[in-house]
Amino acid sequence: MNRIENKNDFSKGSITKTLLGLAIPMTLAQLVNVLYNVIDRIYLSRIQGASMDALTGVGVCLPVITMIIAFANLIGTGGAPLFSIERGRQNTKEAGEIMGNCLTLLLIFSGCLTVIGLIIQEPLLRLLGASDRTLPYASQYLTIYLFGTVFVLVSLGLNSFINAQGFGKIGLFTVLIGAGINMGLDPVFIFGLHMDVRGAAIATVISQGVAALWTLSFLTGKKALIRLELRNMKMKAARTGKILMLGLSGFTMSVTNSVVQMVCNATLQTFGGDIYVGIMTIINSIREVISAPITGLTNAGQPIMGYNYGAGEYIRVKKTIRVLTMIAIAYTMAIWAVVSVFPEAFIHLFSQDEQVKLLGRSAIHIYFFGFFMMAFQFCGQCTFTALGKAKRAVFFSLFRKIVIVVPLTLLLPGLFGMGVNGVFWAEPVSNAIGGLACFITMMLTIYRKLGKEEV
């Protein structure tokens, strides 16, 4: 056990090596996790006679799925940094109780989300942009998905605690299990058993159920440095409040993403119809895939920063921020170039329709313009969250999405004859303004003061 503890002591060794050692498996895990829903969309786009309607129907469900994942982020990004800080302080008792309280919260939220989702499903889907043609597909997919909510929350929420203990490869394996099963079952249920959209949802629920069982098995097993125990599931108000408050950053980012998706779909339905809602589904799928590496990188940076902050190693915290930022900017610059030069290659994964390719090419060029500015938002948010600065993290989540993106999405289509292009321009504008505001504030209020005074 001492050998494992020393290996996972983030206060020693090369920052770059430690960050990349944890980031590579976490990035792969993030990529694979994204494939849960993206693979569904790729298969659904090949249903004969209904491909675009099925794809658009599932796309309408994305804000709801994002909202469900938001609750996993609420607990995972709230509990894991606190867990890392206590582990850095060698306070394993409190760390274990934080993890136990998080499981309780995940179970409570999953039950509530399932019931509420089933009750308000149809009017919600209409609000999200479902038409008479796409509503049946959206309803079929979402109904089944909602019954697997508990698996989504447990697997995603608790996997953060596997990574926080330094077991990045185990965290990757958790996701690989689910994604591998999902990819294997999708063609069987969708085409082999002719279940179409329902088959995609069933495959997803089964795969997430297996991933949740594996996560619980590891955290209650002998290899975990700090185990998940029933006695630690009894909630304490003060501790629960800290978890929820810090988790509001990740939660707010996901919820605001859901709100933006909802506003985008509704506006596109008004100005462009089903075809543009389908194109936005394709764009969201591309964004999820290309954003996965930077999400994995910043997720890897959080336990390293949190551990060193708790251990009083402020120089190492500052170096982690610098390395993280440089890698994030380099990656987002490179991927922006790839998407800009080869947009058709990405569209072709989801649709062979020539009109979709023509309209989608222009939309992609606008939406991903200046994509590297996202790196500043991710790095700023990551630092605020890792060091327990919840209010600042929440503020900048709200600022970029609610204060900038939503108003622009509603206003730009009606200005200067922009139409649907106004919806797509809202994203790069928000990336520039919101990303720089978040990063500059972090550098002035956190980075500059680390080691000098209380931040």
SS (H, E, C) 318-367: HHHHHHHHHHHHHHHHHHHHHHHHCHHHHHHCCCCCHHHHHHHHHHHHHH
| Residue indicated by tokens 């194109």 | 279
- Using DSSP, state whether 453 is helix, strand or coil: coil
Separation between Cα atoms, residue 259 and residue 263, nearest integer Å:
6
The residue whose two tokens read 């987002």 is: 332
Residue type at 313? E
Q: How many CB atoms lie within 10 A of CB 337?
A: 12
Neighbours of 118 (CB within 10 A): 12
- pTM greater than 0.75: no
Task: Give the list of residues 6+ apart from residue 268 with CB closer than 8 angstroms, or none.
Answer: 129, 276, 277, 279, 280, 420, 423
Show the tokens assigned to 352. 């062979």
> What tens digit of pLDDT does each residue of 340-381 get?
999 998 888 887 778 888 999 999 999 999 999 999 999 998
| 374, 436 contact by CB (below 8 A) | no
Which string of DSSP letters, residue by residue, matches 201-243? HHHHHHHHHHHHHHHHHHHTSTT-SS---GGGGS--HHHHHHH
CB atoms within 10 A of CB 79: 31
Best CA proximity match to 38, nearest among 366, 283, 293: 283
Cα 261 to Cα 284: distance, rounded to the nearest angstrom: 9
The answer to whether 133 and 53 are in contact (CB under 8 A) is yes
SS3 string, 84-149, reads HHHHHCCCHHHHHHHHHHHHHHHHHHHHHHHHHHHHHHHHHHHHCCCCCCCHHHHHHHHHHHHHCH
CB 257, CB 401: distance < 8 Å: yes
| Closest by CA position to 138, among listed 55, 45, 34 | 55
Show the low-confidence residues of the chain (pLDDT under 70): 1-11, 29, 33, 36-37, 48-51, 249-250, 451-455
pLDDT-above-70 percentage for the chain: 94
With vertex at residue 286, the alpha carbon angle to CA 179 and CA 288, rounded to the nearest 5 degrees, is 55
